[in-house]
């Protein structure tokens, strides 16, 4: 059996999450629930990685004149 592209993406997301949170990747990988579909494995519970979104105040917006 091989990992599907989805499962490989889940591993990459787990790595990204552990790097962002500076945490151990092993518990995330241990909690993966796999399901087989043919000769490929899929992850039923891939990790979620959330990125912070900075809010910009209206007075911080700078308009530029692009006309020449």
Domain residue spans of the chain: 2-46
The residues that bridge with 35 in the sheet, in sequence order, are 42
Q: According to the model, what pLDDT value does residue 67 have?
A: 58
Q: What pTM value is reported for the model?
A: 0.69
**H or E element at residue 32:** none
pLDDT in tens, 16-54: 889 988 999 999 999 999 999 999 999 999 988 766 665
1 CA to centre of own chain: 24
């Amino acid at each position: 059996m091989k990992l599907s592209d989805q499962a490989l993406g889940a591993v990459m997301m787990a790595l990204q999450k552990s790097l962002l949170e500076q945490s151990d990747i092993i518990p995330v990988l241990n909690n993966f629930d796999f399901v087989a579909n043919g000769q490929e494995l899929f992850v039923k519970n891939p990790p979620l990685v959330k990125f912070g979104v900075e809010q910009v105040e209206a007075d911080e917006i700078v308009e530029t004149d692009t006309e020449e």
